[in-house]
Amino acid sequence: MTRSIYKVDPEQDFAFAVEFMEKPVGHHSAGLQRLLNLFRGEPLEGKYVLVCVKPHREWRLARLTGVRGKPVELVGDIRFTDLETAERAVFRLRWKEHTGQDLAIQ
Amino acid sequence: MLKITGYSDRLYARAGETIDFKINCDDPGEYEAEIVRIVCGDDNPEGPGVKEIPFACAANGRYPARRQEIRAGSYVAVDDPAPLAALKSFTVEAFIWPTTPAKGVQGVIAHRDADAGFALMVDASGCLAIEVGDGTSVKTLSSDAPLLARRWYHVGASFDASDNSLRLFQLPLAPVPRVADEARMKVTASFKPAEAASPVYIAALPELRAVSAFYNGKIDSPRIFGSPLDDASLASLAADAPIATGDPIAAWDFSADMHSQRAVERSDGLHGRVVNFPARAMAGWNWTGEIMDWKQDPSQWGAIHFHDDDIYDAGWETDFSLVIPDDMPSALYAARIRMDGAEEYVPFTVTPAPGKESRIAFLLPYATYMAYANDHLGTDGGNGELLNNILNVLNPPDLFLNEHWEYGGSLYDNHSDGSGICYSSRLRPIVNQRPKTQGVLGGYGGSKLWGLNADTHIIDWLHAMGHAFDVITDEELNDRGVALLEPYAVVITGSHPEYVSTEMWEATRSYLDGGGRLMYLGGDGFYWRVAYHRECPGILELRRAETGVRAWSAEAGEYYQSFDGRYGGLWLRQGRAPQGLVGVGFAAQGFDLSSYYRRTPDSLKAEVQFIFEGIGEDELIGDFGLIGGGAAGLEVDRAAPELGTPPNAYVVASSEAHTNAYYIVPEEFLETGPALGGDENPSVRADMTFFETPNEGAVFSVGSMAWAGSLSHAGYDNNVSRITDNVLRRFLDPTAF
């Protein structure tokens, strides 16, 4: 599987973050897709996933361990009742991890 | 977490035949078993809902719960090695290609009781070692030279009773300067090995309660001699030359009967049982690379690749049985097991009695369910989030499988040593191919279905539209051939019949040539060749050779199937691209949003008007649905005359506007370059196709896995449903097109 070595530029990429927040899933601009290839292509260790707790209704945030057979680790008690909100929340977490800054979009 | 798991001995049965169900429960007590007809397994509140019809029969009832365990790990056992009992002096040797030398103790060749006999092994330091028991204690001699992974070694040990000398050798076949992985040890022992009564184990060690210390990697030509071999003899063995010191007492030849679960022994008939289907027809230490087909010289494929997570038959006890009653209609059923809020389904089908068939058959693609059986796509390898362009959503089966590798993986997973899993069995619980399960590749939001549960959308539609139909499986098609299809006017495929045996492919071809009519309501169909085992039930083989969308890649020299000797891989590479059979073939995949189809000018021709009755010329087709929100999605197929789409085919609609999570499949391009994605590449599309076959047969293909998820939209009153019904009714009409 491919990986990205792109480095996030918090100023130049801000417009793409805005684009993602408006529409997290679907057709993306090339610039947003480049950002997503970095975020979504992170290694399995610590990678964010959603754990379904009520089918089609509720999901919890979790992280993979990257170690075969080791249980998935829930992240606090962060719950989502729709998948778009979950996508935005994880994007914010990754933005901060890569830039050191909170994503200043409401 | 799942608390009940189960499986059955048979997948399909007819009236009078018996299916045995084997159930494991975490908790003690009683469970309730009920046979239910599965109409729809989709629990999405936006969809048609779960629909089950209880079937009254003697098997329904309450049964005591019990734990049943799965023991994964492959090895060879020689149960009665009597000729070895009197050994005073001996040599034990083999060629090995370890894949995880650092994982801990692993058996190579053992004839050892608790404190007697010998065991050649990889020790806790990743070095070759010999353990010898004198009847009271065990002595160990280690090479103290760590083995390297994925390199061939000639290894062994000998004991000379005349002077009590114990020797150990670890000889790399391709030594590398400054890599200290060669060892020749000799010590004088103060003891003699005592006689062992245990079976001989290859690739594992006997422990008190069970076989354990499974070895990962290849073992080739394991032998035991009744004397200590000198260096000259060892050199001769490594040169594949005869030796002067006589024949071995036991010489296992893994290149013989490679399809079988028998380890042939050439000297004394000390044949072994091969347990849990390690990979056979694996390139051996002496493979030259000059030939690729093991049938030309099996002796170059004398290796078995063992894995500590191989699994074939869980071997559970039967909890209850169902004798198929005469009045049980053909359908998809399951034994539904419930206890204290936990639930499990064990699916099976009932085939109609000869002469009692409906005019429509729904052909359940169970081989493909087995390919995806117990996949770990959400948790291991593959980096699915990047592929799907959406967050991975894990469901209870994913979490369970992540922590229970003893249930085995899928043909999409790697073994613990990183090698690809090339066999999949249904004689184990397949927890992700059940009603009410979702699949990590099932698209964004919506129902998110894959495999068996996705195909219940088609069963539900047939049911809702009032069509009488039978449900048969491709495994039975493999077993019985075209005779299974011949009674039917129309055969309908599942949403993803990707894995097809030669027998299945040829039966489908014969059915079409004989005037049969096929509705291929899926995507990525007829893509990989697989082989069912001819003697052992419920297991199939795949070699991910050459090209294709591959979760792993077969090693060089390992493209030929062990079960039947045929060249494995894509049907495209056998000169049988899917386009030649069903008009379209796998072109692209993406797992976020699905799209829609737009009619082509071909769709206005009089010959295909029956498809579009009641549908406007400019109407978008399937811009709705439960799988990614559209009828064209997940894995999509295109027509391609150069790959065999018949010249009489009409491409009546094509999908468009796929997202840039969709990419064309690797065999669609030869050189790397840009514009491979759905927003740029014209091959990223599903082509809806119709053509006639000889004797008034016909094929209608939608070329999309997501089609089935749109059938129920708006109370089954939508253009996807209408097209499907138009075609089905016309196909049922025997008049020529």
The CATH number of whichever domain residue B707 belongs to comes to 3.40.50.880
Measure the CA–CA gap between B254 and B264, rounded to whole angstroms: 7
Domain total of chain B: 3
- The verdict on residue A48 lying in a domain is yes
In this structure, are B340 and B394 located in the same domain? no
pLDDT grade for A106, boundaries at 50, 70 and 90: confident
- The verdict on residue B333 lying in a domain is yes
- Which mean pLDDT values do the consecutive 10-residue runs of chain B (737 residues) have? 95 98 98 98 98 98 98 96 86 97 97 92 98 90 98 96 94 96 93 89 86 96 93 86 81 95 92 98 98 98 98 98 97 98 98 97 98 96 87 97 97 98 98 97 97 98 98 98 98 98 98 98 98 97 96 97 98 97 98 98 98 98 98 98 98 97 96 93 98 98 98 98 98 96
Chain A contact set for B445 (CB, 8 A): 25, 83
Using an 8 Å Cβ cutoff, are B457 and B449 in contact?
Answer: yes
- The verdict on residue B737 lying in a domain is no
**Tally of residues, chain A:** 106
Residues sharing a CB contact under 8 Å with residue B437, sequence separation 6 or more, in sequence order: B41, B395, B397, B431, B449, B453
- The verdict on residue A1 lying in a domain is no
A56 touches chain B (CB under 8 A): yes
In this structure, are B62 and B86 located in the same domain? no
In this structure, are B328 and B394 located in the same domain? no
The per-residue pLDDT for B663 is 97
Six token digits for residue B83: 């000729």
Q: E-assigned strands of B99-126?
A: 106-112, 116-122
Chain A contact set for B341 (CB, 8 A): none
Report the CATH number at residue B52: 2.60.40.10
The per-residue pLDDT for B230 is 87
Residue range(s) defining the domain that contains residue A65: 14-99
Residue of A nearest to B377 (CA): A44
Residue from B342, B399, B400, B397 nearest A62 by CA: B399
Measure the CA–CA gap between B458 and B478, rounded to whole angstroms: 22
Using an 8 Å Cβ cutoff, are B370 and B430 in contact?
Answer: yes
| Residue B116 distance to chain A (closest CA, Å) | 35
- The verdict on residue B223 lying in a domain is yes
Backbone φ/ψ region at B657: left (φ over 0), alpha (ψ -120 to 50), beta = left
| Residue B47 distance to chain A (closest CA, Å) | 11
The per-residue pLDDT for B387 is 93
Q: pLDDT of A3-31, one tens digit each?
A: 899 999 999 999 999 999 999 999 999 99
Domain total of chain A: 1
Pairing of strands B205-206, B90-98: unpaired
Number of H helices, E strands in chain A: 3, 3
Using an 8 Å Cβ cutoff, are B29 and B339 in contact?
Answer: yes
In this structure, are B101 and B46 located in the same domain? no
Q: List C-alpha distances in Å: A41 to A15, B392, B587, B640.
A: 21, 12, 23, 33
The per-residue pLDDT for B267 is 87
In this structure, are B441 and B292 located in the same domain? no
Chain A contact set for B592 (CB, 8 A): 25-26
The per-residue pLDDT for B382 is 66
DSSP B139: E
In this structure, are B499 and B373 located in the same domain? yes
Which of B379, B395, B679 is the closest to A27 by Cβ? B679
The per-residue pLDDT for B484 is 98
- The verdict on residue B332 lying in a domain is yes
Residue of B nearest to A66 (CA): B380
Residue from B594, B626, B443 nearest B41 by CA: B626
The per-residue pLDDT for B208 is 64
In this structure, are B125 and B240 located in the same domain? yes
- The verdict on residue A4 lying in a domain is no
> What is the secondary structure of B683-694 as a DSSP string?
T-S-EEEEEEEG
Count of Cβ atoms closer than 10 Å to residue B269 Cβ: 9
Residue B726's H or E segment, with its range, is helix B719-732
Q: Residue A1: pLDDT above 80?
A: no
| Residue A11 distance to chain B (closest CA, Å) | 23
The per-residue pLDDT for B233 is 87
- The verdict on residue A58 lying in a domain is yes
Six token digits for residue B443: 């698209």
In this structure, are B523 and B548 located in the same domain? yes
In this structure, are B371 and B503 located in the same domain? yes
- The verdict on residue A6 lying in a domain is no
- The verdict on residue A8 lying in a domain is no
Residue range(s) defining the domain that contains residue B298: 75-306
Residue of A nearest to B47 (CA): A56
Residue from B517, B718, B730 nearest B610 by CA: B730
In this structure, are B218 and B340 located in the same domain? no
- The verdict on residue A20 lying in a domain is yes
Tokens 């046979």 locate to B35
Residue of A nearest to B404 (CA): A69
In degrees and rounded to multiples of 5, residue B163 shows phi and psi of -130, 15
The per-residue pLDDT for B256 is 97
Six token digits for residue B302: 């004398």
Using an 8 Å Cβ cutoff, are B679 and B664 in contact?
Answer: no
